[in-house]
């Protein structure tokens, strides 16, 4: 049993790495067992199906992220930094992402989507705690905390995941987050230094500036 557990964990790691690097759809059971050096029957001894494996892989991933988030939550750093730290830790680490940041490659969308969804689910209550903490300390001031936290997470995910955001995106994100949580203007400016815009502002917009209507 102990041995079996270890084996399963091992397989999970392999599946994880392969799903991440080549996409779920592009990874066949054969790929996995080849890499693991086991027989096909063995794989099916440990997993019911490929989909169940994906589920398990995601669960494992989530647990890791959440663990990190909780340790931040329980630490003694200031509330504002907790928010940022947890939000960051909740996002799949860059090195875990498919190469070339090709999250949009169809073969990766499904897994990516599932992960994001689960992470938001898990993170909302955690961050809500932090916001409540902040309200007690007078740093934040707002109602409907979980809903606000959820929107903040969505914005963060959708804006920064693709890796093609600009300084302006960061500016707006900071502004809106402060207002979302009722924080002091500029109190979250420090985020700016933590996020490096890979694309200088103004480039993206040029081509979008189309003349419309009359």
Interface with DNA in residues 2-21 (CB under 7 A): 3-4, 7
Interface with a copy of itself in residues 44-83 (CB under 8 A): 70, 73-74
- Residue 209 within binding range of a copy of itself, rule CB under 8 A: yes
**Could you tell which of a copy of itself, DNA, none binds residue 184, using a CB distance below 5 to 8 A set by kind?**
none
Residue 36 burial (C-beta neighbours within 10 Å; 0-12, 13-18, 19+): middle
13: Cβ contacts below 8 Å, ≥ 6 apart: none
Q: Which of 158, 184, 185, 189 binds a copy of itself (CB under 8 A)?
A: 158
Specify the residue for token string 């599946």. Answer: 15
Give dist(CA 14, CA 192) in Å, integer.
36
Interface with a copy of itself in residues 83-142 (CB under 8 A): 104, 106, 109-110, 113-114, 117, 121, 124-126, 129
Give dist(CA 121, CA 106) in Å, integer.
23
138: Cβ contacts below 8 Å, ≥ 6 apart: none
**What minimum distance in Å lies between the beta carbon of 19 and DNA?**
11
| Cβ distance to a copy of itself smaller for residue 106 or 198 | 106
**Could you tell which of a copy of itself, DNA, none binds residue 176, using a CB distance below 5 to 8 A set by kind?**
a copy of itself
**What minimum distance in Å lies between the beta carbon of 42 and DNA?**
3
Give the footprint of DNA on this chain (CB under 7 A): 1, 3-4, 7, 26-30, 38-45, 49-51
């Amino acid at each position: 049993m102990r041995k079996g557990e270890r084996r399963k964990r091992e397989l999970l790691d392999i599946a994880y790495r392969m799903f991440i690097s080549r996409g779920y759809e592009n990874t066949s059971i054969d790929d996995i067992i080849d890499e693991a050096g086991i027989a096909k029957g063995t794989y099916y001894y440990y997993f019911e199906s490929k989909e169940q494996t994906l589920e398990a892989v995601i669960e494992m991933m989530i647990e890791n992220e959440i663990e990190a988030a909780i340790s931040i939550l329980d630490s003694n750093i200031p509330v504002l930094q907790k928010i940022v730290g947890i939000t960051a830790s909740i996002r799949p680490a860059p090195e875990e992402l498919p190469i070339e940041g090709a999250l949009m490659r169809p073969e990766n969308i499904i897994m990516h989507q599932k992960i994001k969804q689960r992470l938001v689910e898990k993170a909302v209550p955690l961050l809500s705690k932090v916001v409540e903490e902040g309200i007690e300390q007078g740093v934040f001031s707002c109602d409907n905390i979980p809903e606000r936290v959820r929107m903040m997470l969505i914005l963060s995910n959708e804006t920064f995941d693709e890796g093609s955001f600009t300084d302006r995106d960061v500016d707006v994100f900071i502004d809106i987050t402060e207002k979302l949580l009722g924080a002091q203007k500029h109190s979250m400016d420090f985020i700016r230094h933590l996020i490096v815009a890979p694309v200088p502002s103004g480039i993206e917009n040029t081509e979008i500036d189309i003349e419309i209507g009359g």
